[in-house]
Structure 1
Amino acid sequence: MYAVGESISVFNCIEVQEELLQYVGDNEKCQIDAARLTDLDTAGLQLLISLKKHCDSNNLSFEIINMQEPILTLLNKLSLETILIKENI
């Protein structure tokens, strides 16, 4: 599991991308713990969508867990929850 920090934004997006790609390369699935994530801008959203597409094209599972309510609200407003959030069944 990869635990993201408080922010994925234009200011740290390249660093987070490198860490995530390293993590995905070393694992058979991509599980992101977003418990501490409170700041997500469009660069961060683009990174997560790109990572999801990368996982899909490489037949890797992708899951974001422990997402904070403000981030969930943002994803809902942008209609991205169905792309990035795996529904608990």
Structure 2
Amino acid sequence: MAIEVKQQKKGVIHLAIQDEMTIYSVLEHKGQLSNYLKSAKEMHIDLAQVTEIDSAGLQLLLFLKQEAVSRGIALSLTQHSEAVVEVLELLNLSKHFGDPIVISADWKSS
């Protein structure tokens, strides 16, 4: 479980979440991501390496979106992994976040 800073300059931060976003890791993720919300004006979160996401991980994404809106921060989720897309589509939440989702041809069809 890791959050990697890919780029940070002038209030714009690009982060990447790796491994899982589950009940076992979400509290640590929340602490780290909340710290970045304090100073960012724009935040991009790369979800390409998220291998698993459960309701706790989804709650974290919803919390981040709500906090970003209330603080006037532009938040975008990018490079959604297959696991993330499955959950967002299952719960019809893709439009809530408003970020384009690219479906990879390499994903298994179910």
TM over 0.5: yes
Match of 1:56 among 44, 55, 69: 69
Q: In terms of mean alpha carbon deviation, does 32-41 or 63-72 score higher?
A: 63-72
Which 4+ stretches in 1 moved above 4 angstroms?
none
1:26 aligns with 2:39: yes
> Of the two, which has the highest radius of gyration?
2
The structure carrying a bigger strand percent of its residues is: 2
Shift in Å, 1:85: 4.1
Alignment of 1:8-87 (within 5 A): 8-87=21-100
What is the rounded CA distance, in whole Å, between the counterparts of 2:71 and 2:49 in structure 1?
27
Note the aligned Cα RMSD (angstroms).
Answer: 1.4
TM-score under structure 1 normalisation? 0.89
AA at the equivalent of 1:12: S
Structure 1: which 5+ runs fail to align?
A: none
Cα distance, 1:65 vs. partner?
Answer: 0.5
TM-score by length of 2: 0.73
Aligned-partner SS, 1:16: helix
- Percent sequence identity over aligned pairs: 25
Aligned residues: 88
Match of 1:54, as an amino acid? E
Which is worse superposed, 51-60 or 76-85?
Answer: 76-85
Between Structure 1 and Structure 2, which shows a larger proportion of helix residues?
Answer: 1
Structure 2 gap segments, 5+ residues each:
1-13, 102-110
